[in-house]
Structure 1
Amino acid sequence: MSKTIAFFPEAAYGPALNSVGIAQACQTLGYRCVFLTDPGMSGLYSGYGFEEYPVNMSAPMPADEMARYWSDFINSHLPNFRKSPIEQLDNYIKECWAAIVETSQWAQKELPALLKQLKPDLICVDNVILFPAIKQYSKAQGKPWVRIISCSENEIEDPDIPPHLSGMAQDDKDGHARFRAAFHQAIKEVHAGFNDFLIRCGERPYPLGTFFEDSPWMNLLLYPDPVRFNRRHPLDSGRFHYLQGCVRKEAPYAIPKFPVNHDKPLIYVSFGSLGCGDTDLIKRLIQVLSSLPYRVLVNVGDYLDAYSQLPNNVLIDQWFPQPSVIAQADLVIHHGGNNSFTECLYFGKPAIIMPYAWDGHDNAMRVQETGHGLRLDRYDWTASQLAANIAHCCTDAKIRQRLQQTSHHMQARPGPLEAAHILDKILQNTEKENHENARY
C-alpha cells in the first residue's frame, strides 16, 4: 500500500493551489495524497482528483456562508486597504490575526481524531499559525511534518530584511524597527490569547510576534533565488529549502478572439479570489485600459453581475486557469499574491503589482527592487501613470533581460518536482530510522 501524504493548506487559493502542484508531483512518485480542508474550500481539491477531508476551522455555518467567509471578511475591510501597511496594523492585520488564531482553536476540536483516522505518513502544512494537533500526532506516531512557506520569504524573520507584511525596502532599517514595534503593539492581546491556547494544549508559548515555528524536518520556501533577500543569518540548508516557485499543472487555455486590437499585447488582470470584491477599482482599470492599444483579460471572481457593458478590447470571467493564461500574456497586473508573483517570474512576464494587504505589500516592493516589474499604489494613480507603467514594463530591455534570466533559472528547477523529491527523501529516511530502531 502506498504511503499517505496529507496536505493542510490555509483556506485561500494561493496556498491551496501551491499544495496542489506539490501533490501532483508526489502522485507521480506513487504517493497517495489527501487534503485536509476548511469546508469553505470543499470541491477545490477533488476537482484535481484528490481526496478531501473537512476540518471545521470556524463555527459551523451554512455552506453558502462558509464559502463566502473570507471574501466577506476582506470586503468589510476595503476602506482599510487605502492605508499604508503600518496603518493597517490596528485594523485589518489585528483582526486578521484574531481570525487566524480562531482557526487553530477550532481545528483542535476535530483534527486529532481525523489524523488518527487517516494515519498519514507525512503532513505538509501551509499556514502562518501552528496547529498543535499536527505536532502532537507527529510526536506520538513518529511521523514527520513539513512546513510550507507560500507567502513572502520574510515570513521567516531576519534582522537585516524587512518585517513580514511591511512592504518596506530592504535598506530601510529605521522603518523596519518602527514597523516591528507597531506590529507587536497591535497584536499583543491576540498573541497572549494564542499563547494561553498553546499552554492548554501542552505546547510551549511563543515569543511576541511569533505564531508558528520551523519544522525540524524541512521548511519549503516558495521564493525563487533571483528575488531572495540578503539575510544576516542564512537559513540552514539542511532544514530550509528554496523552491523555485511552485507552478501547478493546469488545463490549456486558448486566448479568445477580440473584436479589436487583434495583434496587440495581452494584459491579464487579477487581484486574486479575495480581491475581486473591489469592483470599483476593477471598473476604473477597465475604463482606462479601454482607451489603450491592448487586449485585456480580467478575473472578476464571483462578481460577474457587477459588470454590464464592456469595451471591445476587454473580456472578463469569474475564473481563469492562471498559469496557462500568464504563459501567454505580455503583462500581468495583480495584487502581489505569491502565486501570481512567482508565476510571472516563472514564465518571464513583467508585472505591475497593486497591493492591498498582507504579503502583497512585500512582493510589490520586491518585484521593483529586483527589476522584474513595477509597484503601483492601488488607488493613488492616474490614467497617464498607468499607461506609462504598462508601456515601460512591456518595452524596457533591462526588465525583459532580467525576466528571461529568472524564467530560465526557475524552469530548469521545477518547484513541485523538487519538493516531491525532498518529501520522498524524508519519508525514506524516516522509514530507515524506524526500521533500525525496531532492531534494537
Structure 2
Amino acid sequence: MGGPLRPLTVLFAPESAYGPTNNCVGIGGVLRRRGHRVVFAAEASWKGRLTPLGFEEDLVDLAPPPEQPQDAGRFWKDFVRDTAPEFRKPTIEQLSTWIKPVWEELISGARYCEPRMKEIIDRVRPDVIVEDNVVCFPALTTAGVPFVRIVSCNPLEMKGERVPPPFSGYPAGNRSGWDEFRAEYDRTHRDLWSDFGTWVTEQGARPLPDLEFIHEGDLNLYVYPESADYTDARPLGPTWHRLDSSVRETRERFTLPAGLTGGGALIYFSLGSLGSADVDLMRRVIASLARTPHRYIVSKGPLHEEIELPPNMWGEEFLPQTRILPLVDLVITHGGNNTTTEALHFGKPMILLPLFWDQHDNAQRMAERGYGVRLDPYRFTDARLHGAIDRLLGDTALRRALTEAGETIRARDGLHTAADLIERAATG
C-alpha cells in the first residue's frame, strides 16, 4: 500500500488502561517511523511515559487533578481494588453494580475533558483522529477530519441478534439467557445512555446509536483473530476492518532468570494491570500454582510489594509480555483482549480466569473454540486448575493447531495493516 506523499499529524486518544494505550503505542510507532507526527491526548497520569517513545504528549485530566501525581492508570487500578467483591457475582448482576458504575466514570471523564479536547485539536490540527476507547468524546468526532475508532475489546462490542450480548460471557451456541441479559442491560443503562446522548448532541456531535455510548468512525478497526471471530454470525459493514493482532514492537529484552531453569513447563501468569490489584486473588492463584511441578513467570502488577512468590516463580511489577510469551508453554490470564490476542499471536494455549468487562466473553470464546479452559477465579479448586494445566500441556494436537494459527496471525501483520488503513483514511 505504501505511505502517503506528505507527513501527517495523527492524534491518538486512548483509554487510560494499559491495553488500549499499548495498542495505540504500537500502531503509533509504525506511523512515527514512517515520518508522521504522532500526538497522544492520553490521560494525565501517563505524563512522561510516551515522549521517550518518540510521541508528543498533549494530555488531559478526566477529573480535577489529584494533589499528588499519580502512577499511569492509577484511577482504574484503585477502582478495581475497591470494587473487586463485585467480580464474584454472576455477570447479569454485575450490570447494575459494576458495568454501570464503569460507564458512569467513563462518561464523567468525557464530560470533564471536553473543553480540553477541543483546545488540543485546535492546537495540534490533526489530519486524522484515532480513538481507542468505549465512550464518545464529542470533540474527536466534530473536528472536521476523519475519525477512526479502534475496538480493542472483545468484538461482541459490535452487537448482533445472533451473537451473545457483550459482558455476559454466555456461550455462542446456547441462546438461553440472551434476551434476559439484554433486557437487564436496557433496564439498568437506558437512562444513563439517554442523558449522555443529550449532552453529546449538545456538543454538536451526531446522535448516538440506540444504547451505544460511542459512534462508529469513518474507519473502524478491531483486534481479534479471524479464527476466533464472530463475523459468520454477525457480519460487519465495509468501514470495519479486523486486525488479527496488534502486538507492539519493543526494544526491551528479556532473559530467563537463572533460578527458573530446570524441569517442568514454563508458564506465564498475569491478571493484567487492573486485575492484579486484587491482591487476595493473586495470592490464592499463586498458592495453588506453587503446588505444581512447573516454573512460573508472574506479572505482579501495581501492588507488587504485597505479593510474595515461592521458589518456583519469578516476577516483577512490569514485564515485557510480548518478549515473554514466545518462551512459555502456557498462559494463565484474566482474559483481557490484549493478552488473549497476544497469546494467540504467539500460538499459546490459555487458562482464563475472567473478572470483569469483556474478559468473560474472551474466556468463553477461547473455551468454545478449544484454545483454552475457562475457570471461575474465585471458585476453582486445585484439582480443576492443575487438571487444566496438565491437559493443555499434554494436548499435542492443540499445540500444533495453535502454532499454525499463530503463524497465520503473525503473517497478517495487524500493526502495519492498521497504519496503512489510518494513512488511507487521512488522505481520502
- Give the TM interval when normalised to the shorter protein: over 0.9
Which residue identity is paired with 2:402? L
For normalisation by structure 2, the TM-score amounts to 0.95
- 2:298 counterpart of 1:292: no
Aligned 1:120-139 pairs, distance under 5 A: 120-138=126-144
**Conservation of the 8 A alpha-carbon contact between 1:269 and 1:332:** yes
Number of the residue aligned with 1:268: 268
**Conservation of the 8 A alpha-carbon contact between 2:80 and 2:278:** no
User: What is the distance in 1 between the residues matched to 2:307 and 2:200?
Assistant: 46
User: What is the distance in 1 between the residues matched to 2:68 and 2:239?
Assistant: 39
Deviation of the 1:219 alpha carbon: 0.3
Number of the residue aligned with 2:161: 159
CA-to-partner distance for each residue in 1:346-377, whole Å, 9 max, x for gaps?
Answer: 00011111000001000000111111111111
Counterparts in 2 of 1:172 and 1:44: CA distance versus 1, 3 Å: farther
Could you list the structure 1 runs, at least 4 aligned residues long, displaced by more than 6 angstroms after superposition. none
Number of the residue aligned with 1:9: 14
Counterparts in 2 of 1:51 and 1:89: CA distance versus 1, 3 Å: same
User: What is the distance in 2 between the residues matched to 1:53 and 1:355?
Assistant: 34
Number of the residue aligned with 1:346: 345
Deviation of the 1:64 alpha carbon: 3.6
User: What is the distance in 1 between the residues matched to 2:233 and 2:387?
Assistant: 37
**Conservation of the 8 A alpha-carbon contact between 1:373 and 1:399:** no
Instruction: After superposing the two structures, state which structure 1 stretch, 282-291 or 352-361, moved more.
Output: 282-291
User: What is the distance in 2 between the residues matched to 1:378 and 1:422?
Assistant: 38
User: What is the distance in 2 between the residues matched to 1:163 and 1:42?
Assistant: 36
User: What is the distance in 2 between the residues matched to 1:414 and 1:84?
Assistant: 37
**Conservation of the 8 A alpha-carbon contact between 1:161 and 1:231:** no
Number of the residue aligned with 1:118: 124
**Conservation of the 8 A alpha-carbon contact between 2:141 and 2:205:** no
Deviation of the 1:109 alpha carbon: 1.9
User: What is the distance in 2 between the residues matched to 1:84 and 1:202?
Assistant: 38
Number of the residue aligned with 2:97: 91
Number of the residue aligned with 1:235: 236
- 2:171 counterpart of 1:169: yes
Which residue identity is paired with 2:190? K
Deviation of the 1:63 alpha carbon: 4.2
- 2:46 counterpart of 1:44: no
User: What is the distance in 2 between the residues matched to 1:199 and 1:26?
Assistant: 32
Which residue identity is paired with 1:287? A
Deviation of the 1:288 alpha carbon: 1.8
Counterparts in 2 of 1:125 and 1:306: CA distance versus 1, 3 Å: same
Number of the residue aligned with 1:73: 79
Which residue identity is paired with 1:196? T
Deviation of the 1:10 alpha carbon: 0.6
Which residue identity is paired with 1:144? P
User: What is the distance in 2 between the residues matched to 1:359 and 1:63?
Assistant: 32
Deviation of the 1:17 alpha carbon: 0.4
CA-to-partner distance for each residue in 1:264-297, whole Å, 9 max, x for gaps?
Answer: 2111111111111111111122222222111111
**Conservation of the 8 A alpha-carbon contact between 1:160 and 1:231:** no
**Conservation of the 8 A alpha-carbon contact between 1:58 and 1:106:** yes
Which residue identity is paired with 1:117? R
Number of the residue aligned with 2:316: 317
Instruction: After superposing the two structures, state which structure 1 stretch, 146-155 or 69-78, moved more.
Output: 69-78
Deviation of the 1:189 alpha carbon: 2.6
Which residue identity is paired with 1:311? P
Instruction: After superposing the two structures, state which structure 1 stretch, 356-365 or 163-172, moved more.
Output: 163-172
User: What is the distance in 2 between the residues matched to 1:275 and 1:336?
Assistant: 10
Number of the residue aligned with 1:383: 382
Partner SS state of residue 41, structure 2: strand
Which residue identity is paired with 2:340? F
User: What is the distance in 1 between the residues matched to 2:104 and 2:307?
Assistant: 34
Partner SS state of residue 358, structure 1: coil
Deviation of the 1:41 alpha carbon: 2.4
- 2:383 counterpart of 1:405: no
For normalisation by structure 1, the TM-score amounts to 0.92
Q: CA RMSD in A?
A: 1.6
Which residue identity is paired with 2:80? I
Instruction: After superposing the two structures, state which structure 1 stretch, 69-78 or 347-356, moved more.
Output: 69-78
Deviation of the 1:174 alpha carbon: 2.8
Number of the residue aligned with 1:427: 426
Number of the residue aligned with 2:307: 307
Q: Give the counterpart of 1:100 among 91, 100, 106.
A: 106
User: What is the distance in 1 between the residues matched to 2:108 and 2:253?
Assistant: 38
Deviation of the 1:43 alpha carbon: 2.8
Gaps of 5+ in 2: 1-5
Instruction: After superposing the two structures, state which structure 1 stretch, 276-285 or 345-354, moved more.
Output: 276-285
Counterparts in 2 of 1:246 and 1:63: CA distance versus 1, 3 Å: farther
**Conservation of the 8 A alpha-carbon contact between 2:62 and 2:109:** yes
Counterparts in 2 of 1:155 and 1:255: CA distance versus 1, 3 Å: same
Gaps of 5+ in 1: 430-440
